[in-house]
Amino acid sequence: MSLQICDLHARIVERAILRGISLEIRPGETHAIMGPNGSGKSTLSKVLAGHPDYEVTQGSVVLDGVSLLEREPDERARMGLFLAFQYPCEIPGVSIANFLRAATQARLPEGESLSVTDFYQKLYHEMDALGMQRTFSSRPLNSGFSGGEKKRAEILQMAMLQPRYAVLDETDSGLDIDALKVVAGGVNRLRGPEAGLLIITHYQRLLDYISPDFVHVMVAGRIVQSGGPELALELEKRGYGFLEERYGSSEVSPLAGAGTPG
Amino acid sequence: MTEQQAIAGTDLLQLDRGVGDFHYKMEYAYDAGAGLSEQTIDYICEAKNDPEWLRDFRKRALATFLREPLPTHWASKQLAELDFSQIRYYLAHGQKAGRTWEDVPEEMKRTFERLGVPEQERKFLAGVEAQFDSEAAYSNMKEALRDQGVIFVGSTEGLHKHPEIFRKWFGKVIPTGDNKFAALNSAVFSGGSFIYIPPGVKLSHPLQAYFRINAESFGQFERTLIIADEGSEVTYMEGCTAPRFDTATLHSAVVELVALPGAKIQYITVQNWSPNVFNLVTKRGMAMENSEIRWIDCNIGSRLTMKYPAVILRGRKARGEVLSIALANNGQHQDTGAKMIHLADETTSNIIAKSISIGEGRSSYRGLVKIPNHLKGCRNNTECDALLINTSSRTDTYPAITLRGNRSSVQHEASVSKISAEQIFYMQQRGLPEAEAMSLSVNGFVNDLVREFPMEYSVELKRLIDLEMEGSVG
Ligand SMILES: Nc1ncnc2c1ncn2[C@@H]1O[C@H](COP(=O)(O)OP(=O)(O)OP(=O)(O)O)[C@@H](O)[C@H]1O
Ligand SMILES: [Mg+2]
C-alpha cells in the first residue's frame, strides 16, 4: 500500500520538466517537497493527477498496487488521489455544495444515492471547522473568491472527499497567519494511519504546524536531497543556491535561477 | 404516491435522441411526392378536403414562398444546403385521428408507446395530440374539459368544425408574408393543434402535442393556433423527435397564440432534434389587455434552428415573456432569440436567453424589442448569457432594442462565460467524469432560469443536458 512514483519523466511541448522523480508515500506518512520556482513541483502534482497537457515519457506511478498513468483524471481521483491546486480555477454557476454533492455521489457504487441530510451535516461540520460561513456553500465554486478563500475551499473539498493520498500544492501561500493555522488544522485532521500526504511549500512556517516525516528538495526536475524535518530548517537558512550550483537549473528553467524562497 | 412524484418518475416528453432514433417502414396511403409546385398544393387540398378559401390561401402563400429569397445574408449560409425539390411535403396514412389508442394504426401506436406518450397521458395530461408525419394519429382530451367547452383538435378539424373561431384568428398573428418559412408553412401546412379555451376556464393540467417525424427526406409543417378567451388559462407543451437520416429533414411550423383580455397562455417547447433536422419555426403571440403570454423554449440538437418567439403586446398592461435555452453541440447552429413589440401603455416584457456552445457548435441570439415614442410606463428587461465550452465555439448577440421617448424603460444585460479544458480538468480531479463535469457546468449555467419552469420540465431538461454531454464526450 503506497503511492509509488518511480523514475518519472514528463515533458510539456517538447520541454523535459520532470527528469526522473522517484518517491514513495505510504499511508500515515507526510512528505514535504520544497524547491526553487520553476523546478517542477506543480508539474509533478499535475502529472500525478493526469493533466492532459503533460506527456509522460518514462517511469511509472502506482497507487495501492494499481498503475495510475493510463487512467483518466476522474478515475485517479476516485481511486483516492486528491490535488489541492496551487491556482484553483473558478467554476462559474456551480455552487460548492452542488459540486461536492456530485463529487461525493460519483464515489458511490452504481445505483446507490447520497443521503442529502448526512451530506449537509458533514459539509457544515467541516465548514465550521475551517471557519467558513455556511452561506458560502451556495456560492459558485472559487468564483470571485479571495486567494485565501480559494485555499480554504480546497481544504474543504479534501476534507469532504477523504482521499487516501493528497497532494497540496502551495496551499499555504496567500494565507494570513490565522488562516494558515486553520488550514493546517484541516490538513492535520486528515492525517492518520489511513492517509498519505505530499505537501509542496516554500515556507517553514507551514511545516511548523504540519510537521512532515520527510522533506525532499526538488531542483531542475529531480529530487536532489531528502531528509527529515531538519532539512527544511536548513533550506530556510541557506536558500537553494548551494544545491543549484551542484545540480544545475538554467537548462530547465530560465526563471529557476532567480527562485529563492522568500 | 403524490402527483408530483408520479410526474418526476415519468419521462415527460421522452426526447432522448437515442430512444427516438428508430423508424418504421410505412405504406403511406397519401404521398404528395418530392418537390413543391401548385400540383403539390392541389394534392394536399384534395387529400384534406380543404375548402376553396384555403386552396387560394395556400396558393398565394406558395407564390410568396417562391418569391422571397432565403435569408442567408443575415442568418446561416447553411440554409442554402436545403434542397426544396428533394423534400416530401405530405405523407399520411389517413386524415382522421384516433380518439382512443385502439383506433391508431399499429406502427404509429407502437411508435408513441416507445416514446411513452400514452403513459404520460394517463398520468398527468389534460389532453394529447400525437402527430405522425403530416397528420395526427391520435387526439383526445379529458371528458370534463369537453363539457366546459374547451376545444383541442387538429388544425384540419378546427377549420372544418369551428370556422367561426378559426378563420377569425388564423394567419392574423403571423401573416403569410412574414418570412419565407411562414409562407412555406402557410402553403403546405398540415397537422398541429387548434385550441380554444372559453372565458374563465382555467386548465389545471397541460395539453400536450407530440410531433413525430418518421419518414426520410420529409418536411413537417404543423400549424398551431391557440385562443385563450377572457380570463382563461392554459399551458401547452410540445415535444418533437425524429430518427437520424443522412438526408435533410425539414421542420417548419407556425404557431399563433391569442390571449384575450386577462387570459394566460404558457407555451412550452422542449425539443431534441437529430442532427440532420433543419428547424425553422415562426412563433408569435398577441396579448390583449392585462393578459400574459409566456414562451418557454428549449432547443437542443438539430443541424440549424432558427426561432425567435415573439409577443405583440397589444392591450394595456399586457405582459410577455420569453425564457429560452439553446444548446449547440458539434455541427449544430442554434440561431434563436425573442421579439417583444410593445403597442400599448404599461406593457411589460422580459427576455432571458441562455445559450451553450460546445466544440464546433455555434449559437447566436437575435432579439428585437420595440417601444414606440407615444407609449408610457412600458418596461423591458433583456438578459442574454452565453456559455462557451472550449475555445472553438462561437457566439453572437444581436440584441436590437429600440426605445423611443423617455416614458418607458429598458434594461439589458449580456454575459459570456467560458468553460475551459482547465476547468474540466479541475472538476475531473474531484472525481467527476468529463461528461458529468460538463453537465454540471451547463446545469449550473441554466439553473436560475430552469427554476422558473414547471417542475416536470426542469427534470426533463436536466436529463437531456446530461445525455447531450455524454454524446459530446464520445
Ligand atoms: N503549460 C506550460 N507550458 C510551458 N511551460 C510550462 C507549462 N507548465 C509549466 N511549464 C514550465 O515548467 C517549469 C516547471 O513549472 P512548475 O509550475 O512545475 O514549477 P514549480 O516548481 O511549481 O514552481 P513554483 O514554485 O513557482 O510554483 C517552469 O519552467 C514552467 O514555466
Ligand atoms: Mg508550483
* Residue B2 pLDDT grade (very low, low, confident, very high; cuts 50, 70, 90): very low
- For residue B4, the model assigns a pLDDT of 45
Delimit the domains of chain A by residue range: 3-214
Cell numbers placing A201: 511549500
Q: Which residues 359-418 in chain B show a CB within 8 A of chain A?
A: 387, 417
Provide mean pLDDT across the span B139-149.
Answer: 94
Contacts of A18 (CB under 8 A, 6+ apart): A8, A9, A10, A11, A40, A43, A44, A47, A221
Whether chain A has a CB inside 8 Å of the CB on B455: the answer is no
In angstroms, rounded to a whole number, what is the distance separating the alpha carbons of residues A37 and A200? 11
* Residue B468 pLDDT grade (very low, low, confident, very high; cuts 50, 70, 90): confident
- For residue B393, the model assigns a pLDDT of 66
The distance of Cα B35 from the centroid of its chain, to the nearest Å, equals 25
| B246-291 pLDDT tens trace | 899 999 999 999 999 999 999 999 888 888 999 999 999 999 999 9
- In angstroms, what is the span from residue A1 Cα to ligand 2's centroid? 27
Task: Please name which ligand lies nearest the alpha carbon of A250.
Answer: 1
Write out the H or E segment, with its range, that includes residue B110: helix B106-114
In angstroms, rounded to a whole number, what is the distance separating the alpha carbons of residues B274 and B303? 8
- Considering CB atoms only, which of A50, A89, A102 is closest to B432? A102
Q: How far away is chain B from the Cα of A247, in angstroms, using its nearest Cα?
A: 32
List of chain B residues whose C-beta atoms are within 8 Å of the C-beta of residue A90? 423
Write out the H or E segment, with its range, that includes residue B18: helix B17-20
CB B126 within 8 A of CB B142: yes
Q: What percent of chain A has pLDDT over 90?
A: 79
| B160-206 pLDDT tens trace | 999 999 999 999 999 999 999 999 999 999 999 999 999 999 999 99
pLDDT at A252 over 50: no
* Residue B343 pLDDT grade (very low, low, confident, very high; cuts 50, 70, 90): very high
- For residue A249, the model assigns a pLDDT of 55
Candidate from A24-38, A244-258, B256-270, B443-457 with smallest mean pLDDT: A244-258
Q: From A51, which residue of chain B is nearest by alpha-carbon distance?
A: B425
In angstroms, rounded to a whole number, what is the distance separating the alpha carbons of residues B424 and B361? 18
Whether chain A has a CB inside 8 Å of the CB on B451: the answer is no
CB B8 within 8 A of CB B459: yes
Whether chain B has a CB inside 8 Å of the CB on A101: the answer is no
How many CB atoms within 10 Å of residue B317?
A: 19
User: With a 6 A CB cut-off, is A43 part of the ligand 1 pocket?
Assistant: yes
DSSP state of A257: G
Best CA proximity match to A127, nearest among A186, A69, A184? A186
The distance of Cα B374 from the centroid of its chain, to the nearest Å, equals 33
- For residue B72, the model assigns a pLDDT of 83
Whether chain A has a CB inside 8 Å of the CB on B470: the answer is no
pLDDT at B474 over 70: no
Provide mean pLDDT across the span A33-60.
Answer: 96
Rounded mean pLDDT of chain B?
91
| A76-127 pLDDT tens trace | 999 999 999 999 999 988 999 999 999 999 999 988 999 999 999 999 999 9
Candidate from A162-166, A184-188, A249-253 with smallest mean pLDDT: A249-253
Whether chain B has a CB inside 8 Å of the CB on A98: the answer is yes
| B368-417 pLDDT tens trace | 999 999 999 999 999 999 999 876 666 788 878 888 878 899 999 988 88
pLDDT at A178 over 60: yes
| B296-312 pLDDT tens trace | 999 998 999 999 999 99
Superfamily of domain A3-214: P-loop containing nucleotide triphosphate hydrolases (3.40.50.300)
Residue nearest to atom 3 of ligand 1 (CA): A12
Record: contact A90-B444, CB cut-off 8 A:
no
Best of A82, A86, A99 to disrupt the B interface by mutation (most B CBs within 10 Å)? A99
Q: How far away is chain B from the Cα of A120, in angstroms, using its nearest Cα?
A: 18
- For residue B455, the model assigns a pLDDT of 76
In angstroms, rounded to a whole number, what is the distance separating the alpha carbons of residues B125 and A23? 63
* Residue B99 pLDDT grade (very low, low, confident, very high; cuts 50, 70, 90): very high
Task: Please name which ligand lies nearest the alpha carbon of A46.
Answer: 1
Exposed/middle/buried for residue A67 (C-beta within 10 Å: 0-12, 13-18, 19+): exposed
Cell numbers placing B42: 392541389
pLDDT at B28 over 50: yes
ipTM above 0.90, yes or no: yes
Which residue has 396558393 as its cell numbers?
B59
Best CA proximity match to B32, nearest among B76, B77, B84, B90? B90
User: With a 6 A CB cut-off, is A221 part of the ligand 1 pocket?
Assistant: no
How many CB atoms within 10 Å of residue A1?
A: 12
Rounded mean pLDDT of chain A?
91
